[in-house]
């Protein structure tokens, strides 16, 4: 059984189904606090250091929000150029220092495996907020939480699902982590729709096939989108050698209402880790889908707060004390 208290959260590979069930169940307990029905100050006095050495909107802010919602305080560093990493300080030394100031650390960095390297120098739990093209474990957990809650309305669970992953599957760390998590469930069919040059890494495909799941690789949307969930990803321009190379693939797999109606099931749920590239030339997930009930992308982003609250509660060992530290909400809220 996984011991969460004091553990780093670096890769989805450290979880089994039981650990994931614990995270998802603890995430659900956070809903009244995230929706401002009640407050919880179980982490009053605790400090999160939120270190983001690569751009982020929702991961960074939702880590901070999650910690604040449990009563804790947040200190931030944003951008490598604003930290002493730019003066040659190592990740190990940075971790030694920052962990002395903090109770837990969340970190994003552009280099693969950098968060694991950082964690070797940390005396407090480190949570990976994305390390280059490698992994994004908290995103995969919130994706799984979203799939579970979206499928519940159709009487389905995380087993026996038919899922389409589409877009830049080579560089998209969220789909790497999500595929590994899905491999733990039963009888999953995953269709990977991508240009050959941007297909899923072999190591991720092997994780699925070795676990007995059906994997279909294709570069064609027609006939391949009938599924429970379509998970669209952005062309990760920042991971290409040049912008021109990224341009070669932009707009290849754009999903819009016409294509949805033509190729998807009536109830196919659309997910995307966001940000979606809304520039006209990108056209990857059209805004004409915005009023579709099955577009789950913003519910998905909100679920990030619940899952990150759960990970803080578990790694700091307070998941059983939430109700003891509840308070009323005394301000106007329309959540």
List interacting residues with ligand CP (CB under 6 A): 56-60, 130, 139, 273-275
What is the DSSP track for 202-249? Answer: HHHHHHHHHTT-EEEEES--TT---SSEEEE----GGGSS-HHHHHTT
d(CA 18, CA 171) in angstroms, rounded, equals: 29
d(CA 116, CA 172) in angstroms, rounded, equals: 19
Nearer to ligand CP, 204 or 318 (CB): 204
d(CA 172, CA 234) in angstroms, rounded, equals: 8
Shortest distance, position 292 Cβ to ligand CP, whole Å? 20
The alpha-helical segments, DSSP class H, found in 70-136 are: 91-101, 114-119
Around 185, how many Cα atoms within 13 Å sit in the side-chain half-sphere?
23
Nearer to ligand CP, 130 or 132 (CB): 130
d(CA 207, CA 199) in angstroms, rounded, equals: 15
* Encoded tokens for 23: 């995270």
Nearer to ligand CP, 213 or 272 (CB): 272
Nearer to ligand CP, 60 or 171 (CB): 60
Shortest distance, position 104 Cβ to ligand CP, whole Å? 18
Shortest distance, position 272 Cβ to ligand CP, whole Å? 9
Around 308, how many Cα atoms within 13 Å sit in the side-chain half-sphere?
34
Residue nearest to ligand CP (CB): 59
Shortest distance, position 130 Cβ to ligand CP, whole Å? 6
Shortest distance, position 145 Cβ to ligand CP, whole Å? 14
Nearer to ligand CP, 164 or 274 (CB): 274
């Amino acid at each position: 059984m996984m011991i969460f208290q004091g553990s780093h959260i670096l890769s989805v590979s450290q979880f089994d189904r039981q650990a994931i069930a614990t995270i998802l169940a603890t995430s659900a307990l956070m809903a009244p606090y995230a929706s401002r029905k009640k407050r919880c100050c179980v982490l009053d006095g605790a400090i999160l250091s939120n270190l983001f050495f690569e751009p982020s909107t929702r991961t960074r802010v939702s880590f901070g929000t999650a910690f604040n919602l449990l009563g804790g305080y947040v200190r931030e560093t944003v951008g490598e150029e604003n930290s002493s990493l730019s003066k040659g300080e190592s990740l190990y030394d940075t971790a030694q220092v920052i962990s002395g100031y903090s109770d837990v650390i969340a970190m994003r960095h552009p280099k693969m495996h950098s968060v694991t390297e950082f964690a070797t120098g940390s005396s407090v739990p480190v949570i990976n907020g994305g390390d280059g093209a490698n992994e994004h474990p908290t995103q995969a957990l919130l994706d799984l939480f979203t799939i579970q809650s979206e499928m519940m309305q159709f009487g389905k669970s995380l087993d026996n699902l038919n899922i389409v992953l589409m877009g830049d599957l080579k560089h998209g760390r969220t789909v790497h982590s999500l595929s590994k998590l899905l491999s733990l469930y039963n009888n999953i069919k995953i269709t990977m729709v991508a240009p050959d040059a941007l297909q899923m890494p072999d190591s991720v495909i092997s994780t699925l096939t070795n676990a007995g799941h059906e994997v279909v690789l294709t570069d064609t949307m027609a006939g391949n989108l009938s599924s429970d969930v379509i998970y669209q990803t952005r062309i990760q321009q920042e991971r290409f050698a040049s912008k021109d190379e990224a341009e070669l693939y932009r707009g290849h797999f754009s999903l819009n209402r016409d294509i949805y109606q033509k190729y998807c099931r009536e109830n196919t749920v659309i997910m995307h880790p966001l940000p979606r590239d809304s520039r006209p030339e990108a056209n990857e997930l059209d805004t004409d889908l915005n009023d579709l009930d099955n577009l789950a992308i913003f519910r998905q982003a909100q679920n990030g707060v619940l899952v990150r609250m759960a990970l803080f509660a578990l790694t700091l060992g307070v998941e059983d004390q939430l109700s003891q530290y509840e308070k009323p909400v005394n301000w106007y809220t329309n959540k």
